[in-house]
Structure 1
């Protein structure tokens, strides 16, 4: 079960969030803080008591727009702690989803908070920590400890979370990257080089300065008149000369295993 801290400088919203959190059977305790100073002081006390101590905090539910330090500032400070708690952003603003991803937030919940949406954030936090509390067991596909399983994308003013395992390939578009899935594509403001570094352990490989591909999604490798291409679903993508040999070796090893 989770020990949580909710942070919001608007008292009615903080009380409502605490009410919803305390009503969840997977939450063992829920405390509130109305500013950055109180939040950082409380988390410091939790760290001093140890991860299993009576003062421990597992997850911080953070508003973003607050007087003084913002929720993003607090999250950056907490990331420097020895054993930082997980972060869930709770905000009325949709435009910070990419920053939340950069800070490895567990979830990004929009205000007004719906109980079922908050329950999903609690589930994801339990899943990340390998706990189930009194909730149904988490699906086996989401392994705890592997980092974010989803990436936030914005479409028509709505923030959605796309499973990384559903992404077949990524295309660079300046400072943005277009994520291609079987259902369509999504544009995110993250450079391709950043995704290449973060998703290497998930089986994504760079095949061109413009393309990052999930190795498991490559259906065909073709060499024609000195040009190498791969087929990923309905897309045919060019492989640069400098990546061609490494890609062939990776595919051969994968086929052998």
Structure 2
């Protein structure tokens, strides 16, 4: 187990971040310590790699530590959360959010050892080696320095923009740095279907298919933020899309479901 953990230290105060990162780096069970100065940067790191535990300050500008922990609770395989703070008054809230420990500053070596021991004990025996960042039911998207939390089931379609993807959801469109191919692979089991090299659609939003001049178009209903749209379907994807639309429970479709 020596040196097997990858942990993320999050604190908006540089001296405090340096201290917790240094203490963590000395622990024999920790192999890598990643730093983040705010919750948005922390989410970015969590979306890049598998992280076993987050040592998290509570009081931060923007998205607080408590709010970040709430986001991580929606991940399919959330990292262990250890709050690190100078204040005791948030302890009950922290444990309500599933934190496995709560360290007070300045951090004592024996308490840090106990927190790391709890992290190790909390890991499943078959813990995966890679972080599947898009397995969460909520997708973080940053706009002008503000992190928006986008429920996956509010997304009706996704558009490729190079190495990015634009999510069209009930709250508007949001650009995230995730390739469309990655979303295709990870969201298929959640009711999404690749219909074109540039488009991924959510089957519950499909209201029908139609052919015109040899081309196939898929119709998607209004998602609350944008009007109904029609997107092109490649010949290679048309048959599978039809089959999956037919298998989608009718309660999730508006009247006038899949047609030719």
Q: TM-score, normalised by structure 1?
A: 0.57
Contact 1:174–1:191, Cα closer than 8 Å, also in 2 = yes
Query: Cα gap change, 1:110/1:175 in structure 2, threshold over 3 Å: closer, same or farther?
Result: farther
Contact 2:58–2:66, Cα closer than 8 Å, also in 1 = no
Q: How much does 1:99 deviate? A: 4.3
Correspondence for 1:100: 46
Whether 1:178 aligns to 2:166 is: yes
Contact 1:169–1:180, Cα closer than 8 Å, also in 2 = yes
Contact 1:98–1:189, Cα closer than 8 Å, also in 2 = no
Q: Could you tell me how far apart the structure 1 residues matched to 2:185 and 2:8 are?
A: 32
Correspondence for 1:119: 66
Q: Once the two structures are superposed, what CA deviation does each residue of 1:185-244 show, in whole Å capped at 9, x if it has no partner?
A: 111222111111111121111000000011111122112232111111211111111100
Contact 1:91–1:111, Cα closer than 8 Å, also in 2 = no
Query: Cα gap change, 1:209/1:221 in structure 2, threshold over 3 Å: closer, same or farther?
Result: same
Contact 2:159–2:165, Cα closer than 8 Å, also in 1 = yes
- The gaps in structure 2 that reach 5 residues or longer are 1-6, 81-92, 99-131, 222-227, 252-260
Q: How much does 1:14 deviate? A: 7.4
- The gaps in structure 1 that reach 5 residues or longer are 16-31, 45-68, 73-89, 138-144
Whether 1:210 aligns to 2:198 is: yes
Whether 1:236 aligns to 2:224 is: no
What is the 5 A alignment of 1:49-64?
A: none
Aligned-residue RMSD, C-alpha: 4.1
- Paired residue secondary structure (1:102): coil
Query: Cα gap change, 1:6/1:174 in structure 2, threshold over 3 Å: closer, same or farther?
Result: closer
- Paired residue secondary structure (1:185): strand
Query: Cα gap change, 1:158/1:133 in structure 2, threshold over 3 Å: closer, same or farther?
Result: closer
Correspondence for 2:22: 34
Contact 1:101–1:152, Cα closer than 8 Å, also in 2 = no
Q: Could you tell me how far apart the structure 2 residues matched to 1:230 and 1:115 are?
A: 39
Correspondence for 1:71: 34
Query: Cα gap change, 1:235/1:254 in structure 2, threshold over 3 Å: closer, same or farther?
Result: same
Whether 1:12 aligns to 2:16 is: yes
Query: Cα gap change, 1:38/1:160 in structure 2, threshold over 3 Å: closer, same or farther?
Result: farther
- Paired residue secondary structure (2:150): strand
> What is the number of residues matched between the two proteins?
187
- Paired residue secondary structure (1:103): coil
Correspondence for 1:159: 147
Q: Could you tell me how far apart the structure 2 residues matched to 1:229 and 1:110 are?
A: 49
Contact 1:218–1:231, Cα closer than 8 Å, also in 2 = yes
- Paired residue secondary structure (1:122): helix
Q: Could you tell me how far apart the structure 1 residues matched to 2:73 and 2:143 are?
A: 27
Correspondence for 1:87: none
Q: Once the two structures are superposed, what CA deviation does each residue of 1:146-171 show, in whole Å capped at 9, x if it has no partner?
A: 93222221111222221212111100
Correspondence for 2:136: 148
Q: How much does 1:182 deviate? A: 2.3
Q: TM-score, normalised by structure 2?
A: 0.57
